[in-house]
Amino acid sequence: MTQAAPPPIVDSHCHLDFSDFDGEHAALIERARAAGVGRMVTICTRLRHEPQIRALAEAHEGLFYAAGTHPMSVAEEPMATVEELTRLADHPKFVGIGETGLDYHYTADSAAAQAESLRIHIEAARRTRLPLIIHARDADDDMARILTEEYRAGAYACVMHCFSSGAGLARAALDLGFYLSMSGIAAFPRSTDLREIFAAAPVERILVETDSPYLAPPPHRGRRNEPAYVARTAAVGARIFGMDYAEFARQTTANFDRLFWKAAGGAA
């Protein structure tokens, strides 16, 4: 008897250009497909690396990409420009702006530059209509304030990637019509409070991701993460929302297609 194929699901955020995956791209993408993960978005965190990430996306069916300056790298990289970011959107596989944001855990000393960079990325998201991909750590108040100020100045779409902040930032983001993305952190045994934050959100605003090679969900925790493991996180998400896995996979895929409209249904 032939085993049924797993329900299709999307890894909305991974870093396949990192050296952890050198020489393994074809194999790990095959493992992802075997787990039902037919589409992935690989994220460029330093704009000088964009050509390599673009080439990676071009080489693999179902692989899309986004680019920006990670907040932890702002002090080391040239400040991005709106024009530089918007030009990237001409590529058919370029589907999002970022990741950008605020990180005060390790790099609070560059807070002012991070805020400047964030606002530049927001303007690029406005102009291109592509979703903004936000990294937020230990900066909830400033993040909520900047996102809200900028939204009032002109609407844009956004996902709070690898969401692990507080309920206040979750509510601020949801009130603006943004999405929350669930990573392997939501599957960690001690993440009860985070699971409650997700449970209080509309399931129509939830995405799933790996953030691989980081944050592998159980039973892989502490080891390298990869796109196939998004199915493990989605299984926890299904339980959070009281849905069966196939239903949750369909819903989060529909959410992804709504937000990442350039990658909607596509395998280009």
Kindly report which listed range (88-102, 117-131, 253-267) carries the lowest average pLDDT score.
Answer: 253-267
Q: For residue 20, what pLDDT is reported?
A: 84
Helix, strand, or coil (residue 118) = helix
For the beta carbon of residue 97, count every other beta carbon within 10 angstroms: 33
Kindly report which listed range (21-30, 40-49, 74-83, 123-132) carries the lowest average pLDDT score.
Answer: 21-30
Does the pTM exceed 0.85?
A: yes
- Within the chain, residue ranges assigned H as helices are 25-34, 50-59, 82-88, 111-128, 140-153, 167-175, 192-199, 230-240, 245-259
| 8-state DSSP, 66 | E
The 9-14 sheet, strands edge to edge: 9-14, 37-44, 63-67, 94-103, 132-137, 158-160, 179-182, 206-208
* Tokens 């903004």 found at: 132
Average pLDDT of the segment spanning 55-74: 97
Six-digit token string for 3? 């085993």
pLDDT digits (tens, 9 = 90+) for 122-149: 999 999 999 999 999 999 999 999 999 9
Where does residue 178 rank: exposed (0-12), middle (13-18), buried (19+ CB within 10 A)?
Answer: buried
Domain ranges of the chain: 9-262
Whole-Å CA distances, 33 to 61, 143, 247, 267: 11, 35, 18, 12
9-262 has CATH 3.20.20.140 classification: yes
**pLDDT at residue 266 is higher than 60:** no
Six-digit token string for 248? 């949750």
